Every structure is written in C-alpha cells, then in structure tokens.
Amino acid sequence: MLSSWRKLIRSRRRAAGVMVERLPEGTYIELVQSLFGLTLPAMIMTLCFVGTGAYILSRHPDNLLFLFYGFGIVASMIRLAVLFGLRGRALAPTLGGQVARMIERRFGYSYIAFAAAFGLFSAQAYWAVDTDLHIPLVAMIFGYGAGVAATVSLRLWISITAILIAILPMILVSLFLPGGANWGTGLLTALFLGGGVLSMVQRYRETASQISMRRLMEKLARQDDLTGLPNRLVLRERFEALAAESDGSELIAVHCVDINRLEPVNEMYGHMAGDALLRAVAQRLRRVVRGDNLVIHLNGDDFVVVQPNMTDPREAELLAHHIVGILDKSYAVAGEDIIITANIGYTVDLQRGADLERLLAAAERALASGKRGASGVAAHDGTRWGRAAGAAA
C-alpha cells in the first residue's frame, strides 16, 4: 500500500514538472484544441452521474448526498455549456495563443468544478450507502477516470487535478471503512489511479513532442533556409487565397526585387559574407513590408513582394521607391561597410482572379527595363487593370 502511494506521489511531482513546461505556441494551441475533439464522453458522464446519483438517492436519501448531487448537476451543465459554447472558437484554424489560453482556463475551471462535485458525492455515497450500491458507484468512478484519460489528458493541469479531486476522496473513505473488501477497493483504485496518471504524463510527452516535430517539419518545408522568409510554396498559397477572397474592387501588386553587386561581395569576402548580406536584406524587407503584404526569398539575390488590397495603383509605386531607398544603404558585413543597390520591377492588376505566374513574368520584364533606368524602379502595365485603365483614359 505504501509503495502504491509513493508511486502516486512521484507521478504527481513528475506531472507538476511537465505541466509548467513551455511549449511552442502552435503546439500549445493544438493541445488546447484536443480538449474539444470529443463531446460524447462528457455527455455520457453527465447521464451516468444523473442516473446513478438518482438511483442511489432513491435507495438512500441523505441531505449531504442531495447537496453534492445538485452541485454536480449544476457543474456538469456548466461544463457542457462551456464545451459546446466554445467549441467553434477553439477549433477555428485562426485560433491564437491568447484566445486559446482564455478558452483553456474556462474549460479547465468548469471541468475541475464538476470533478470536485463528483468526488464529494462519491466519497459521501461510499461512506453512507449500503455495500450493494458500491458496485455502480465504483463503476462510475472508473468510467470517469477513463473519460478523463480519453479526452483531456493532453492538458495535464486539468486532467491530473480533476482525476485526483474526483477519485482520491473515495479512496480515503474506503480505507477508513472496516472490511477487506473496502480496503481492497481502495488499494486497487489507488493503483489504477497511479497508473492512469503515469500513462497520461507519458501520452502528453509523446504527443507534444510529435506535434512539435511535425510543425517544425511543416515550417521548414515552407521557409527559406538562408533568410528565414517564406518560400515559393507560401507565395502560391497566399496569392491564390488573396485572389479568391477579393470582392473585385481591390488591386494587387507584385514586386520583383533584385540585389546588385552580390557577386563581387562573394568574390571579395567569401560566400558566408554574401549569405550574411542576403539575411540583412531580408531583415530590412521584413521591417518595411508589413500588414497583409508578403515578402519571400525567391532564389539567389531575388526577392518577391506581394502588395494586396490596394485601392490606388500609386501605393505600389510608393512602396517600390521606399524599398529601394531602404536597401540602397550600407551594410556592416565581415567587418566592412558594404554598399549595394536594388532594382524593382512591379506590376499592378485586379486582385480577383489574378494569375501569379503571369504577374511574376510581367514584374520581371519591368525589372529588366528598370535596370537600365536611373531610379531603379519600373512598372509594367500590360495587365487586365492596366489595359482597362488605358482604355478609360
């Protein structure tokens, strides 16, 4: 018996250490969403508690049992209301970390409140009722433990707190009652409880690790290794989404940015210095390209900037000149102040139904002509919008 309690205490301490682990935000959000994946176990537990509790009270009326039973029904209704009321927000693909934390707290508090009512009712019932009523009571307790393990075990502060609050009171009561059957019930329940806590901790560790690894691999597949900017895959996905979501009035611009004098830097200072220069360019582009704009590293010394949701084509020209002005400054690389220049070719089109490859080709043609100009910025107007604007003029 003492060994089982030691195991339970050690598992509780180990779980406490796991519960304070810091997780990547994306992993944390997925773990919170797991709380809302299954709704049937919560409904079944509510029905079992209502039915079993009513049966026990019909056989053994008791004021404390009535009080804990009523508390349990109210807490269970609140728990179901939170589960179904927040499920839509929790499973939304745009769920952020701050909202996820709020949702988790509301879910956890309602879940633990029911666990407290359930634990009080179970302990009082085991103490007061006839022994033949222990059978459905113990069955309900084990069912509750199985439900916790199946639905909320990936958020340990909820699952371990709830399962201990719900089951430990009955274990303690059984150990104070006379008879080997009561002691055996308490011992077996304690052993299963300890095993359940250990299995939940293990499942949490494995699942969190798997989610983090999967998300890392997905991020690497969508990110340029050198600059950390999104890659062509993200460009295509984002562009197609923008073209589909437009209401028809917005304009979209595609800018092709070319960095000059990169090859001399590689030859004079080495390719590591050239890579450091590209990373510095990427950092400047991140600072200047904000909001719903998108910047990617296409390849080599070429970058692409997508500027959606415009109402005036002059916005594209202003951004292009701003980017050139920001990039045409010195960079501290390899202990030297290196000065480069940038050229931009851009094109503007109607956002709805825009074709990425066609706009990239148009922006690249503008880039080629811009390299022969003094400003380093050139526009291409051979698009649907450009033709429509020309016809209107």
Average pLDDT, integer, range 233-237: 88
Cβ atoms of 17 and 201 within 8 Å: the answer is no
Are 314 and 178 within one domain? no
Please state the rounded mean pLDDT for residues 364-374. Answer: 76
Q: How far apart are CA 16 and CA 25, in angstroms?
A: 20
Round to whole Å and give the CA distance between 350 and 267.
Answer: 42
Residues 27, 137 share a domain: yes
Asked, for residue 226, whether it belongs to a domain, the answer is no
Question: Do 272 and 197 share a structural domain?
Answer: no
Positions of E strands within the chain: 251-260, 294-299, 302-310, 330-333, 336-339, 341-350, 377-380
* pLDDT per residue as tens digits for the range 2-40: 454 454 455 444 544 444 457 888 999 999 999 999 999
Whether 287 maps to a domain, the answer reads yes
Task: Tell me, yes or no, whether 338 lies in a domain.
Answer: yes
- Number of domains, the chain: 2
Structure-model confidence comparison of residues 299 and 91, the more confident one:
91
Share above pLDDT 90 across residues of the chain, in percent, rounded to a whole number: 54
pLDDT at 379: 87
Could you tell me which of 218, 172, 171, 164 has the C-alpha nearest to residue 19?
Answer: 164
In a domain, 281, yes or no: yes
CB of 26 closer than 8 Å to CB of 214? no
Last residue of a domain, one of 221, 248, 269: 221
pLDDT of residue 391: 43
Asked whether the predicted pLDDT for residue 390 surpasses 90, the reply is: no
CATH number for the domain harbouring residue 270: 3.30.70.270
CA 273, 274, 280, 283 torsion-angle sign: negative
| Model pLDDT, residue 194 | 92
Residue 381 lies in a domain: yes
Q: Are 285 and 294 in contact (CB under 8 A)?
A: no
- Supply the range of the domain harboring residue 366: 232-392
Assess if residue 353 is contained within a domain.
yes
Answer yes or no: do 278 and 159 share one domain: no
How large is the average pLDDT for residues 239-265?
A: 86
239 and 215 in a common domain = no
Q: Which of 221, 241, 270 is the endpoint of a domain?
A: 221
Residues 182 and 252 in one domain: no
**Domain identity same for 125 and 176:** yes
Q: Are residues 199 and 277 in the same domain?
A: no
User: What are the pLDDT digits (tens) for 169-205?
Assistant: 999 999 999 888 899 999 999 999 999 999 999 999 9
The arithmetic mean of pLDDT across residues 326-349, rounded, is: 87
Per the structure block, which two tokens stand in for 353? 């139904």
Q: Clarify whether residues 56 and 174 are in a common domain.
A: yes
| 191, 221, 251 - which closes a domain | 221
